[in-house]
Amino acid sequence: MRKTLLILNICAYIASLIWLYKIRDFEPLISSILTLAGLIGFVVTKPNKEKDKIVMKQKAGKKSRQYQSGGDMTINN
């Protein structure tokens, strides 16, 4: 997925450069600058790997019951 987004971002940058070459105006210039900034930001940032490492921790006192669930939970005493 990340490779596809990178390829699309590069294509958008190339298209904006061609547009700037054909029509020398502020709108293609702004488009080229913004797509270049987006490309640099995309390359510099790293994907978030923390989503794959979910750890559930729970602490309780002595003589207590602990319940851990991944969703909604109802406890009747």
Is the per-residue pLDDT at 52 higher than 70? no
Is the per-residue pLDDT at 49 higher than 70? no
The answer to whether the beta carbons of residues 68 and 56 sit under 8 Å apart is yes
Cα–Cα distance measured from residue 38 to residue 25, given in angstroms and rounded to the nearest whole number: 20
pLDDT for res 2 = 84
Q: What are the E-state strand segments in the chain?
A: none
pLDDT confidence band for 16 (50 / 70 / 90): very high
Q: In percent, how much of the chain has pLDDT > 70?
A: 73
Q: Residue 16: is it exposed, middle or buried by C-beta count within 10 angstroms (0-12/13-18/19+)?
A: buried
Q: In the chain, where are the structural domains located? A: 2-39
pLDDT confidence band for 45 (50 / 70 / 90): confident
